Amino acid sequence: MSTTAQTVTVSEATKKTIERVGLIPVLRARSVAQGQAVVQAMVAGGVNIVEVTMTVPGAVDLLKALKKEYGSALLLGSGTVTTVEQVEATIEAGAEFVVSPSLHPEVVARTRALGKVSMPGALTPTEAITAWNAGADYVKIFPCSAVGGASYLKALLAPFPHLKLVPTGGVTLETAASFIKAGARALGVGSDLVNLAAVDAGQPETITEVARAYLKVLADARKS
C-alpha cells in the first residue's frame, strides 16, 4: 500500500470512529494527572475519544501519556490549535484529529498534509463554507448554543447539506438528541461530561455514568 493510500485509510478510520461514537469530549484539565483521571472515567463509560486542548498545562505531555497508556484503544485529538507548530507537536504526540475554535487555513493544510483529520471552527454561514472549502473534514460550529443551538445548526445545513458539522458550546444531555436530529455528525461536549469537579471530589464514577447516558441518548436519537 502506498503512503498516500495509508494516510487516507487512517484518516477515514478516524472519521468513522468520530461519527460512530458521536461524542468528542473537550478536555480542559488543569494538570496531566487530572486529565488522565478524567479520561479513565470516560473510557470506563464507553467513550473512547478525547480532545486535549492546548490550554491544558503540558498538553503535549498528556497526549503522549494517553497514547502510551491506551494505544489504539483511545482516539486522540488536539484542540484549541491555532498554529502549524502546534499541529506538528500534537500529531507527533499521538493526535489523530486537530480541532480549532476558529479558521486557520495553514492549520487545516498542515493537518491534512500529515494525513490527519481537520476540524476548524466557524459560526456564520460564510465562515462555515469557507472552512469547508479550505479542506476541513468537519466544521466545528462554535459557540453553537449561544446562537440558537439545534435550530441554528438545521438552518445552516439547509443551504449547505453537504457540510459535516460538529456543534460545540453548551451541548448537554438534554440537548444532545436535538443536535443529532438536526444533522450533527458528532457533538463536542465540555463540562457536562468532562467534569473536573467530580474527579477532584474523588467521584470519577459520576463521569462514567454521564458518558454512558450520552451514548444511550445518541443511540436513541439515531434510531428515531
The total number of structural domains that make up the chain: 1
In tens, the pLDDT along 90-136 reads 999 999 999 999 999 999 999 999 999 999 999 999 999 999 999 99
Of the candidates 15, 51, 96, 116, the residue annotated as catalytic is 51
Euclidean distance between CA atoms 40 and 109, whole angstroms: 32
Percent of the chain with pLDDT over 70: 96
The candidate with the shortest Cα–Cα distance to 96, out of 55, 34, 62, 49, is: 49
Task: Report pLDDT for 185.
Answer: 97
51 flagged as catalytic: yes
Euclidean distance between CA atoms 92 and 115, whole angstroms: 12
CB distance 107 to 101 below 8 Å = no
Of the candidates 15, 116, 140, 164, the residue annotated as catalytic is 140
Task: Report pLDDT for 2.
Answer: 53
- CA-CA-CA-CA dihedral for 28, 34, 35, 38, to nearest 10: -100
CATH of the domain at 177: 3.20.20.70
Question: Treating both helix axes as pointing N-terminal to C-terminal, what angle do 150-157 and 173-182 enclose, rounded to 10 degrees?
Answer: 10
- Residue 9 sits in which domain range? 3-223
Residue 224 — very low, low, confident or very high, per pLDDT cuts 50/70/90?
confident
Average pLDDT score over the chain: 95
In tens, the pLDDT along 126-155 reads 999 999 999 999 999 999 999 999 999 999
